[in-house]
Amino acid sequence: MDATPVLQYVSATTPTAAPTAELDREGVRSVDRAASLLIALGNWDGEAGVTELARSLGLHKSTTSRLLATLQKRGLVQQGRDSGKYRLGLAVVRLGGQAERALDLQSIAMPELEGVARAVRETTTLGVVESDSVITIAWSDASGIGHDRKWTYLPLHATAPGKVLLSNRPEREVIRLSKIGFTPYTSRTIVRVDRLLEEIARVRNRGFATAFGEYEPSVNAVAVPVFDQRGSVVAALEVRASGQRIQPGRVPELIERIRAAAAAITEQIGGSVAYS
């Protein structure tokens, strides 16, 4: 008698196994397509229409339209009222705390970047850490005209902003990066972990970093930290120019300018200076 319920149970559950697996596969496929849409929109210059997105991803227009509608409900994409095209939504920003801080920093830092650039007549940038690199989130050209983003990825070990940002990281993080390998971009690039740790210690002690021909042979730069509420380095403010324009004798003047600007940004975001 015990066998009957078992047989009934197996009989009842076996036919549903295949449909369940199929539903799981379809769910994963939908998530993958939705993620691809978000990435495509992120890489798009401006807004994109359903037809453009469908063609770029190899999807049917109807599928693309349904996915966009779902993403729009969650605030992950927005549709232009006049154009009918799509762009990333604010929910994407809220998903990443660092990305959200970066966007805040862009608007807060821009007047300071422009002011420094006009005063010293050199390019001024604001960089943050992303994926073991420095990413430029805002910059001003030498004429003092600001730009919201550049999205240029630069190495941590070979740039002035990178050294500033590394100064807030524990020693084990620098050692981890060294195991991945420090690329020798020029003959001046620091590639030995012991020398880089010494350099980072100097950055902490004096409150600024320099990089003279370490990433590009003909480019020199100086950078200082911007601090958050916890006193952690959240960004690096940099002035860069050709080696002819930034010589060692000019460093004190530049440091004075960017320190004042970085302090103003730190104050506006409610930050606390950890070292000077």
Site of tokens 């422009």: 114
Domain identity same for 72 and 103: no
Whether residue 117 contacts residue 87, with contact meaning beta carbons closer than 8 Å, is answered with no
- Average pLDDT of the segment spanning 197-207: 96
Between β-strands 209-212 and 77-79, what pairing exists: parallel, antiparallel or unpaired? unpaired
Element (H, E) at 11: helix 3-43
Domain identity same for 86 and 108: no
pLDDT number for residue 98: 57
Separation between Cα atoms, residue 197 and residue 175, nearest integer Å? 9
Per the model's pLDDT, the better-predicted residue between 29 and 265 turns out to be: 265
For residue 58, the domain's CATH number is 1.10.10.10
Domain identity same for 7 and 50: yes
Summarised one tens digit per residue, pLDDT across range 171-183 is: 999 999 999 999 9
Using the predicted structure, report yes or no on whether residue 5 has a pLDDT greater than 60: no
Domain identity same for 167 and 261: yes
And the tokens for 213?
């021909």
For residue 222, the domain's CATH number is 3.30.450.40
Using the predicted structure, report yes or no on whether residue 235 has a pLDDT greater than 70: yes
Quote the number of domains for the chain: 2
And the tokens for 86?
């799509």
pLDDT number for residue 273: 78
Predicted TM-score (pTM) of this structure? 0.64
* Residues facing 241 on adjacent strands: 220
Summarised one tens digit per residue, pLDDT across range 129-183 is: 988 899 998 999 988 888 866 557 899 999 999 999 999 999 999 999 999 999 9
Domain identity same for 59 and 130: no
Domain identity same for 121 and 30: no
Using the predicted structure, report yes or no on whether residue 196 has a pLDDT greater than 70: yes
- Average pLDDT of the segment spanning 50-78: 89
Residue 274 maps to a domain: no
